[in-house]
Structure 1
Amino acid sequence: MTLETKKSVFVELGKFLKQFSEKDTIKKSDVLHNDLFFDDFEKLIHLSQSHNGWYTPEQVYFAIKSWADALTEENLDKWLSQYSSEFTQDDKTEKTVALILAGNIPLVGFHDFLSVLITGNKALIKTSSNDQHLLPFLAKYLIAVDESLKDKVTFVEGKLENFDTVIATGSNNTARYFEYYFKDKPSIIRKNRNSAAVLNGKETKEDLEALGEDIFRYFGLGCRNVSKLFVPKDYSFVPFFEAIFKYQDVIHYEKYANNYDYNKAVFLMSNFKLLDNGFLTLKEDPSYASPISSVFYEFYENIEDLQTRLEADAEQIQCIVSNDLVKNSTPFGQTQNPRLWDYADNVNTITFLLTTK
């Protein structure tokens, strides 16, 4: 398959996904293979919560929309244009890439899957037990669009065997296992990361409402969810709490509410001082990884020192949200809408796949 053919296949997938929306799913006559896949995919969206309690229809629809928006001809061209001279056109140098995927949010491993196929390699995939259905379904759709992909995609349940390189995502604990187990293979091993926001008190209500999206999307389970706030001395959290009140319905979801009650109780029994609005607790803490339903915060004295701190902690941070207060900031409300060229852990997957022997 040529690069243009590969891109066209994923553009068709983008058109298929574009039909599905929480508010107005519309079946379109010009989308390929709707007769085979449309109804079953809609059913799968609503069944996802029975497979993983955190995968509510709202969250799955959001993930689908994010990928539908990403998989356009324009985005794929922009993403891949810088590598065009490096791509092989006949796939004679293809590798088998083992993908060990996380399952914390819907389709979290799709970018790795896309990267492997778009570079002309084979994907040997071990899904997370928390997300075993969405990606295999989309793989079947891609194969229906181009049958030559059938030999490029394999899902495995047991031991991974006969592969050339590895991309594995897990916790800090599992990463140590991965690093030992795959020590003889070229690899990308991803560990725990969290995201932070830097505020200075001049944010608008709209900024802070958008920050709520960065905190509460996927119930805070993603590495791109903001779990830490850096605020100046004497910062008032009143505008923040007023702005995020629109997300109060999150407490009506049982799994989130259970985490809120449990984590709040643990904090209080430990005599920690908390700020609390009834569905989110704020705790002063130097760590980045806060539990579900809680966000840590820390005071800073000057932005230059904070920039140095963030650079030193770079391996713990996925992205930083601010109004350009620090380098390489992500705008408020955009953490869960990464572009194709926004690589997890800032490791360029395409370059890795194209240059690894």
Structure 2
Amino acid sequence: MSLDKRKQAFITLGQFLSQFTTTGILKKEEVPFNDLFFEVFTTQIKRAEEYNSWFTQNNVLFAFDSWAKTLTKESIEQWLQDYNIQSTSDKTIAVIMAGNIPLVGFHDFLCVAITGNKVLAKLSSNDKYFIPLIAKYLEYVEPSFKGTFNFTEEKLQNYDAVIATGSNNTARYFDYYFGKHPHIIRKSRNSVAVLDGNETHEQLENLSDDIFRYYGLGCRNVSKIFIPRNYDFDKLFKAVYKHKDILNYTKYANNYDYNKAVYLMSLFDIKENGFLMLKEDKSYASPIASLFYEFYDDFDSLKTKLKDDSDKVQCITSELNIEDSVKFGQTQLPKLWNYADNVDTVNFLITL
């Protein structure tokens, strides 16, 4: 199968996914194979929360909508233009996927498939329905894909390379089991925001989306902010107020109550507004319903620190001049070339 056919298949997938957005689900008659798949996907989206209570319909639709806007001809061509990708490959790539947010493993799936390799996927129990459905849709769009997508719950066997995503703890096991094969092994990372106190209310509202989207469970969610001394926290609290209804979600509320109790019993000094707690902490990974903050005195020194800690940071968002940062509100809208852990997955695959 040619590269052009693989590209076109994913472009068609993007058109299919464009029917599922946060503003509603609307069937488009011109989309290929809708009679077979539209109702199936609609039902699965509505039932997702039954299998994983964090996968609310709004969050699932946001993930679908984001991928629909990414899988365009222009975006795919721009992404792949500098790679020398062969038409076919006989490599089987074992992909161990996370499941913290909807479709979090899809980019690895896409990279393996678009480079002409075979996918041998081990799905997370938290997100095991959508990607197999997508794979089946792709097989209808491009029959040459048949036999190239395999999903297993058994021990992984007969593969040429591994892409595995997990926690710092599981990464040690991945290293042990897969270290003899070519591999990409990802560990825990978190995203941060850098503020100078001059941000507008609208900018801070955008930042609040980076904090609360997916209930803060993604590695691209902002879990920590860096702020100058004497920062006016009221500005931030007023901006995040748009997300006040998040406390109506029981699981989030339970985490908020639990973490607040832990902080209070430990006599930590926290600032809170009823649904978000701010705690001064040098760590990067904050618990659900919490946001860590750290003061900085010198902007250049902070940029040096973030470079030194690059193995802990997935994404930086700021309205300031920071290399490779994104604007507020954009952390959960990565481009195809924004690779997790800054490891070029496509280059890894085409140089095996």
TM-score (norm 1): 0.98
Separation of aligned partners in 2, 1:10 and 1:81: 16
- Asked if 1:314 is matched to 2:290, the reply is no
Picking from 111, 117, 120, the partner of 2:113 is 117
- Which one-letter code corresponds to 2:37 in the other structure? F
In the TM superposition, 1:133-144 aligns within 5 A as 133-144=129-140
Other structure's SS at 2:50 match:
helix
- Once the two structures are superposed, residues 86-110 of structure 1 have per-residue CA deviations (whole angstroms, 9 ceiling, x without a partner) of 2112x1x320000000000000000
Give the aligned partner of residue 175 of structure 1: 171
In the TM superposition, 1:125-274 aligns within 5 A as 125-274=121-270
Picking from 269, 272, 276, the partner of 2:272 is 276
- Which one-letter code corresponds to 1:353 in the other structure? L
Separation of aligned partners in 1, 2:23 and 2:335: 24
Give the aligned partner of residue 70 of structure 2: 70
Separation of aligned partners in 2, 1:81 and 1:201: 40
Separation of aligned partners in 2, 1:322 and 1:21: 27
- Which one-letter code corresponds to 1:297 in the other structure? Y
Give the aligned partner of residue 42 of structure 2: 42
Give the aligned partner of residue 5 of structure 1: 5
Other structure's SS at 2:20 match:
coil
- Once the two structures are superposed, residues 24-47 of structure 1 have per-residue CA deviations (whole angstroms, 9 ceiling, x without a partner) of 322111110000000110010010
Per-residue deviation, 1:148: 1.5
Per-residue deviation, 1:244: 0.6
Separation of aligned partners in 1, 2:209 and 2:279: 19
Per-residue deviation, 1:327: 1.9
Other structure's SS at 2:82 match:
helix
- Once the two structures are superposed, residues 42-83 of structure 1 have per-residue CA deviations (whole angstroms, 9 ceiling, x without a partner) of 010010000100000000000000000000111100000111
TM-score (norm 2): 0.99
Separation of aligned partners in 2, 1:199 and 1:23: 31
In the TM superposition, 1:319-338 aligns within 5 A as 319-338=315-334
- Which one-letter code corresponds to 1:221 in the other structure? L
| Aligned residues of 1:303 and 1:325 also touching (Cα < 8 A) | no
Separation of aligned partners in 1, 2:241 and 2:101: 23
| Aligned residues of 2:195 and 2:320 also touching (Cα < 8 A) | no
| Aligned residues of 1:322 and 1:330 also touching (Cα < 8 A) | yes
**Which of structure 1's runs of 4+ aligned residues deviate more than 6 A?**
none
Picking from 292, 316, 341, the partner of 2:288 is 292
Give the aligned partner of residue 81 of structure 2: 81
User: Which region of structure 1 is more displaced relative to structure 2, 267-276 or 17-26?
Assistant: 17-26
Separation of aligned partners in 2, 1:49 and 1:179: 33
Separation of aligned partners in 1, 2:245 and 2:183: 41
Separation of aligned partners in 2, 1:344 and 1:258: 30
Per-residue deviation, 1:314: 0.4
| Aligned residues of 2:97 and 2:124 also touching (Cα < 8 A) | yes
| Aligned residues of 1:18 and 1:68 also touching (Cα < 8 A) | yes
Separation of aligned partners in 2, 1:298 and 1:133: 39
Separation of aligned partners in 2, 1:308 and 1:20: 41
User: Which region of structure 1 is more displaced relative to structure 2, 21-30 or 194-203?
Assistant: 21-30
- Which one-letter code corresponds to 1:259 in the other structure? N
Per-residue deviation, 1:6: 0.3
- Which one-letter code corresponds to 2:286 in the other structure? S
**Considering only aligned residues, what root-mean-square deviation do their CA atoms show, in Å?**
0.7
The number of residues matched between the two structures is 352
Other structure's SS at 2:10 match:
helix
Separation of aligned partners in 2, 1:69 and 1:23: 14
